[in-house]
A and B are shown apart, each in its own frame.
Chain A
């Protein structure tokens, strides 16, 4: 069994345990009922997506200062994986919202800033397809990635600074906020499981980008031969 297969099996086990905990260990929320169980997937994916964008931001800064291709590879890997998690957030949110709020979507500060974040990282990936020369592409996308990250503090602060339709924070929300202890543990466990999935996807995606670097080297050799 290869290392990849073992890591994949471990992550699958972790995700299965997470689904079990979300459905059978966490208590049913009194006001919303069973639909609130989407919370563990929705919030876990949101935190994981923001973690990806934070790593992407660090990689972008490191590329600008050091100009080493591996930081560009890490940046694009994080942007793509973060986008996958943010897509899950934007899909599970309305599914949860509809029975609870009576609407699928509203343009409040949290929802809008999250949608803008998604658009910014789609633009980051599109920008990369428009520039042929590898060094220029890496530099421009690193600079754009640093700009895109400016939206992350807005997403985090939106429910703390403004009144929103989206619920107020249950973690790091200050006095009066909080979560029932079992729910808190299940949420943290969900985040750990999703971080495991994130690590696995990042590993595969980074390897793909490293191979692209290798391909460019071989292409140069072919051109020189």
Chain B
């Protein structure tokens, strides 16, 4: 198939962008969840 490498590159980059974006959101969510838990336990201890 002519230009198969270009088609392959386009799909690979596109799914790479979506996957990387998903990973960054998941990492930010997990870091934030940890921070909320830490602060909540701090509030509970001070009560």
Chain A residues proximal to chain B, CB less than 8 Å = 19, 33-35, 37-38, 41-42, 45, 80-81, 84, 87-88, 91-92, 95-96, 98-99, 197, 201, 204-205, 207-208, 211-212, 214-215, 218-219, 221-222, 225
Contacts and interface: CB of A to CB of B under 8 A. Distances in A.
A214 B31 CA distance: 14
Contact of A91 (B14, B26, B47): B14
Contact of B9 (A37, A95, A207, A208): A95
Nearest to A15: B15
Interface in B11-47: 11, 13-14, 17-18, 21-22, 25-26, 28-29, 32-33, 35-36, 39-40, 42-43, 46-47
A184 B20 CA distance: 30
Nearest to A208: B29
A84 B17 contact: yes
16 contacts: A41-B10, A80-B21, A84-B17, A88-B18, A91-B17, A92-B10, A99-B3, A201-B18, A201-B21, A201-B22, A204-B25, A215-B32, A215-B39, A222-B42, A222-B43, A225-B43
Helix, strand, loop or mixed for chain B's interface? helix
A207 B29 CA distance: 8
Nearest to A19: B11
A34 B9 contact: no
Given A204-B22, A221-B43, A222-B43, A45 B29 contact: no
Given A91-B17, A215-B35, A225-B46, A96 B6 contact: yes
A141 to B, nearest CB: 18
A160 to B, nearest CB: 25
Contacts of B14: 41, 45, 88, 91-92
Which 9 pairs across A and B sit closest by C-beta, in order of nearness?
Answer: A35-B3, A218-B39, A95-B10, A225-B46, A92-B10, A84-B21, A88-B14, A38-B10, A34-B1
Contacts of B21: 80-81, 84, 201
A212 B6 CA distance: 40
Given A215-B32, A221-B43, A225-B43, A34 B22 contact: no
A80 B24 CA distance: 11
B39 A222 contact: yes
A219 B39 contact: yes
Contacts of A208: 25, 28-29, 32
Contacts of B47: 225
